[in-house]
Amino acid sequence: MTNWGFQIQKDRQIDFDRNDLKVLMEVEKHEPSIKLCISCGTCAATCSAGDFTEYSLRRIILLVRRGEIEGLESEISKCMLCGKCQLACPRGINTRNVILQISKALQKI
């Protein structure tokens, strides 16, 4: 293909009217404590995977809430399910099950 020296950029905007919230609904059904997340970041701060990669549970939960699920499947596989985040979460979210349920829902959908 001819290289014209420019390309079309993907829109960065989150279009909340078009995004698909199926994954969120599925997770909420099986692990309702996801609703309690206040995006404080304690989970990501304590996360061992986060020390070496860009992995952040705070960000993953947020993207699920916004319906921005592209690329999440490989992202969530970085979790080693150690459960430190669950010990640290101030809202008592069952974070390990949230991760498992997100993973399951992503495979299902």
Q: Residues in the site for other proteins, rule: CB under 8 A?
A: 12-17, 32, 35-36, 38-39, 58-59, 62-63, 65-66, 68, 91
User: Which amino acid is residue 107, in one-letter code?
Assistant: Q
Contact between 88 and 43 under an 8 Å Cβ cutoff? The reply is yes
- What token pair was written down for 63? 């993207």
Contact between 71 and 78 under an 8 Å Cβ cutoff? The reply is no
In the complex with other proteins, which residue's Cβ is closer, 65 or 85? 65
In the complex with other proteins, which residue's Cβ is closer, 32 or 81? 32
Give CA 1 to chain center in angstroms. Answer: 36
In angstroms, what is the minimal distance from the CB of 109 to other proteins?
Answer: 20
In angstroms, what is the minimal distance from the CB of 87 to other proteins?
Answer: 20
In the complex with other proteins, which residue's Cβ is closer, 20 or 80? 20
Q: What does the alpha-carbon distance between residue 74 and residue 92 come to, in Å, rounded to a whole number?
A: 26
